[in-house]
Structure 1
Amino acid sequence: MRSASLVRTGLTDDVVAQLTDYEASDLPESWKAALALCDRLSGYEHKGVIPAELYERLGEHFNEQQILRLGALLASASGWHRMIEAFGIRPDHYQADTSAPWAAAAG
């Protein structure tokens, strides 16, 4: 995995590479718990109610308000991601002098 937008936010290439298999990585346990929640909310691996084990794992690092805020942030980001995919926007390849990807279709 490689993401210029993640690197621009301050993550190193090494950290970004570890996101692919974060459970086996040396990332902080709080990050791993948050990434597991991200996978759960995105429907990447599982759907439905957050299992008690994951909620307990999150509770080791975050309080209830932080867990809800993290969930809201992840839900917002997931919706944003789906929107940019639908419009064909490629943030890592954005160039200020190019037309919007949907401009040709509107044509």
Structure 2
Amino acid sequence: MRSASLVRTGLTDEVVAQLTDYEASELPESWKAALALCDWLSGFEHSGKIPPEMYGRLGVHFNEQQILRLGALLASASGWHRMIEAFGIRPDHYQAGQSAPWAAAAG
């Protein structure tokens, strides 16, 4: 995995590389719990109500308000990701003045 936008926020290439297999990584346990919630909410492997074990894992690192805020942020980001994929938008490669990716399809 490589993401210029993540690296621009201050994450190193080494940290970004660990996101692919975060459970086996050296990332902090709080990050692993948040990433597991991200996977759950994105529906890649799971769906339905968050199981008690996951909520308990999150509760070790975050209070209830933080868990809800994290969930809202992840839901928003997941929806944004799906939208940019659907329209072929590549923010890491965008250049000022570049036409929108859907302009060619519409025209």
Q: Give the TM-score taking structure 1 as reference length.
A: 0.97
Q: Deviations over 1:68-107 (max 9, x none)?
A: 0000000000111111111110011111121110111222
Query: 2:81 maps to what in 1?
Result: 81
Pairs aligned (count): 107
Per-residue deviation, 1:58:
0.2
Q: Are residues 1:71 and 2:83 paired? A: no
Provide the C-alpha distance between the structure 2 equivalents of 1:99 and 1:42, rounded to a whole number of angstroms: 29
Query: 1:101 maps to what in 2?
Result: 101
Q: Which runs of 5+ in 2 are unaligned?
A: none
Q: Which runs of 5+ in 1 are unaligned?
A: none
Q: Deviations over 1:21-73 (max 9, x none)?
A: 00010100000000000000001111111111110000000000000000000
Give the partner amino acid of 2:16. V
Q: Are residues 1:33 and 2:51 paired? A: no
Query: 2:11 maps to what in 1?
Result: 11
Provide the C-alpha distance between the structure 1 equivalents of 2:59 and 2:100, rounded to a whole number of angstroms: 42
Q: Are residues 1:51 and 2:72 paired? A: no
Provide the C-alpha distance between the structure 1 equivalents of 2:34 and 2:13, rounded to a whole number of angstroms: 19
Q: Give the TM-score taking structure 2 as reference length.
A: 0.97
Provide the C-alpha distance between the structure 1 equivalents of 2:106 and 2:24, rounded to a whole number of angstroms: 46
> Percent identity of the aligned residues?
89
Provide the C-alpha distance between the structure 2 equivalents of 1:105 and 1:44, rounded to a whole number of angstroms: 29
